[in-house]
Amino acid sequence: MAKKDRMTGVLSPVVTPFGKDYAPDAARFVRHCKWLLANGCSGLAVFGTNSEANSMSVAEKTNLLEALVAGGVPAATLMPGTGHCALSDSIEMTRLAVKLGCAGVLMLPPFYYKGVSDEGLYRNFAEVIERVGDERLQLYLYHIPPVAQVPISLALIERLLKKYPGQVAGVKDSSGEWANTKAMLDAFAKDGFDVFAGSEVFLLDNMRHGGKGCITATGNVNPGPIDNVYRKWRSAQADTLQAGITATRKIVQKQPMIAALKAIIAHFGNDPQWKTVRPPLVELTREQEAVLIPELKAAGFAMPGLAG
């Protein structure tokens, strides 16, 4: 894939709907993915942190990914998470993503052992790239130290990019530290390494410094206004538009993020089943919902067309 075809814009780490028995609900998943693409997302980072991806088996994720493509979601919009603790799982999911024609994959480092060396992490990513052995693979590294606890260092990126310049495509930086995102941009953007901010709070800054967009939790519920910042980042209104999406983000993130996103979709989509999260997560309490929903309404928040 030529670099010009790479993903840009606003990607949503799509939340995964579950039934009352915690089984993944492919029909609701396809429906939500289509709503996101119709309402501002240029891509879908399914199986991310906000997707409860690590709370699902490889078989469950395989079924969901195949259901998306079979259900008419273009593979060119997909950047599934394929990084697992087990090298064999990472290879299996990455192979599937490439086979289905996904635009890229977003790879967590193996995250069980802590304090591992860059050499060990290099071997992990290199082994996946070599075993998949397909030029079409576009690998985005997923740096999220607050959760994974295992970071992707600049030195590791440099080494991987040097060895696999055609396949190491970029990064999602969920460190929450703009200084780190900026360091990635300064070091590697000129080499065609695409940096996505891990939150829309940094979207405008990221665009102004050579980044390619953002992959953000709240992309699940507020894709239109976030996409508007992406499209108008060079305009005079950019800072004002950015302030608007940052304000919405701040309302949502007062609550536990994943449960909050699902509660919002359940409310504005009039579909209570969406509230279900898999253990170890728990849904919002009534009290948390009673804060979240009115605050969003007071801010003029809407999810056009979601309730069908």
Query: What is the closest distance, in whole angstroms, from the C-beta atom of residue 139 to its own copies in the complex?
Result: 15
Determine if 85 is a binding residue for its own copies (CB under 8 A): yes
What sign results for the dihedral spanned by CA atoms 190, 201, 104, 108? positive
Determine if 54 is a binding residue for its own copies (CB under 8 A): yes
Q: Indicate which single residue of 119, 130, 135, 239 sits in contact with its own copies (rule: CB under 8 A).
A: 119
Q: Binding segment for its own copies among 112-120, 184-192, 216-224, 299-307 (CB under 8 A)? A: 112-120
The one-letter amino acid at 145: P
Q: Indicate which single residue of 74, 89, 205, 288 sits in contact with its own copies (rule: CB under 8 A).
A: 89
Determine if 62 is a binding residue for its own copies (CB under 8 A): no
Residue 92 or 194: which CB sits closer to its own copies? 92
Determine if 155 is a binding residue for its own copies (CB under 8 A): no
Contact 198, 144 (CB under 8 A): yes
In angstroms and rounded to an integer, the radius of gyration of the C-alpha atoms of the chain is 18
Task: Return all residues near 105 (Cβ < 8 A) that are at least 6 apart.
Answer: 79, 80, 81, 82, 93, 94, 97, 98, 137, 138, 139, 140
Determine if 105 is a binding residue for its own copies (CB under 8 A): no
Closest alpha carbon to 238 in 204, 275, 271:
204
Query: What is the closest distance, in whole angstroms, from the C-beta atom of residue 81 to its own copies in the complex?
Result: 11
Determine if 177 is a binding residue for its own copies (CB under 8 A): no
The one-letter amino acid at 122: Y
Q: Binding segment for its own copies among 38-46, 145-153, 236-244, 286-294 (CB under 8 A)? A: 145-153
Contact 206, 195 (CB under 8 A): yes
Give the interface size with its own copies as a residue count (CB under 8 A): 39
If 0-12 CB within 10 Å is exposed, 13-18 middle and 19+ buried, where does residue 282 land?
exposed
Contact 34, 72 (CB under 8 A): yes
Residues found in the chain = 308
Query: What is the closest distance, in whole angstroms, from the C-beta atom of residue 112 to its own copies in the complex?
Result: 4
Contact 44, 11 (CB under 8 A): yes
Residue with tokens 């994720």, as numbered in its chain? 61
Q: Binding segment for its own copies among 8-16, 108-116, 173-181, 203-211 (CB under 8 A)? A: 108-116
Q: Indicate which single residue of 2, 5, 20, 117 sits in contact with its own copies (rule: CB under 8 A).
A: 117
Residue 27 or 282: which CB sits closer to its own copies? 282
- First-last CA distance in the chain: 36
Q: Indicate which single residue of 66, 112, 134, 191 sits in contact with its own copies (rule: CB under 8 A).
A: 112
Stretch 1-20 residues interacting with its own copies (CB under 8 A): none
Q: Indicate which single residue of 104, 110, 198, 211 sits in contact with its own copies (rule: CB under 8 A).
A: 110
As a whole number of angstroms, the distance between CA 234 and CA 228 comes to 11
Enumerate binding residues for its own copies (CB under 8 A): 22, 49, 54-60, 85-89, 92, 109-114, 116-117, 119-121, 123-124, 127, 146-150, 278-282
